[in-house]
A = this chain, B = another copy of it.
């Protein structure tokens, strides 16, 4: 019966069309749509058949208008640098979240807020209720967005443990400290004693925790902590290269380096190679992340795998639970040592 204008978009069927087709009221159709409670099997079946025949798809705008929910989730990246976007980890995380949400038929809105101005605009957009919750990726501390969203009562889950703020915010993170401990223990177990470290930014949880793990293992192994063996990095390849040069100039007989990211570890390998050190014979190198950079390096990197697929699925699970009324929660996931040629 539908009038079909060939070519352009025809008017899509509404709940009214389905009701007429099924011989029931619109209310009954709606009840079927929303779980089928208080609906007789016969009506249920008639409605389902009518939906199939008409090709009905619910109009989410109408539904959202009345429920007050948007049935969509925001993926917010508040990061001034482009670095993180170029980080392969980001891809895995984004893809994982998109897929986990797709399983619930929830679309993901990608929001990039690199500048102060954009952050203001996006925060406003979010607090106006355009998404039901936010997956927040913000590696640096001092980001006020998390606090603002929390205050506005927006369900929120962060990737990585937030530092600085003592606020109650849900997060999902890999166990950075434990991963660092595993790596440094591994280096020490190989007989290395002059173990350098290139840290991540010390205003990020990864930077702080991985360094902490390093110190703990040195202490437990009875190796004195030596400041000259600690150099800061910013997760970029270049900072790894510079860091290794600095380490070599300070401690020429260095026999291992724990590097807080694979990308930096690539830079470390370059600098060691240039300085004529052979890896792992002269210097063993351990990375962190198990990113594609780990296998692309020569030699391939021994590293700590972060469980990105689990991180993303847990972020989605926690967020949906929170939207459903649960309290916030923190999830810490285990890491794994992956041994390759660099140790």
Give bound CA distance, A128 to B12, whole Å. 7
* Chain B positions within 8 Å of A118 at CB level: 102
B102 touches A91 (CB 8 A): no
> What are 8 sample pairs from A and B whose C-beta atoms fall under 8 A apart?
A9-B152, A65-B65, A85-B95, A86-B91, A98-B112, A102-B112, A102-B118, A108-B110
Give bound CA distance, A102 to B9, whole Å. 27
B94 touches A296 (CB 8 A): no
A99 proximal to B (CB < 8 A): yes
Interface size on A, residues (CB 8 A): 45
A60 proximal to B (CB < 8 A): yes
Question: When the two chains form the complex, which single residue of B57, B86, B95 contacts A124, counting CB atoms closer than 8 Å?
Answer: B57
* Chain B positions within 8 Å of A237 at CB level: 296
Question: When the two chains form the complex, which single residue of B62, B99, B266 contacts A112, counting CB atoms closer than 8 Å?
Answer: B99
| Given A91-B85, A95-B85, A296-B237, CB of A57 within 8 Å of CB of B128 | yes
A9 touches B129 (CB 8 A): yes
* Chain B positions within 8 Å of A8 at CB level: 153
Chain A 68-105 per-residue mask, 1 if CB under 8 angstroms from chain B, else 0: 00101001000000100110101100110011001000
- Give A231 Cβ to nearest chain B Cβ, in Å: 22
A249 proximal to B (CB < 8 A): no
* Chain B positions within 8 Å of A153 at CB level: 7-9
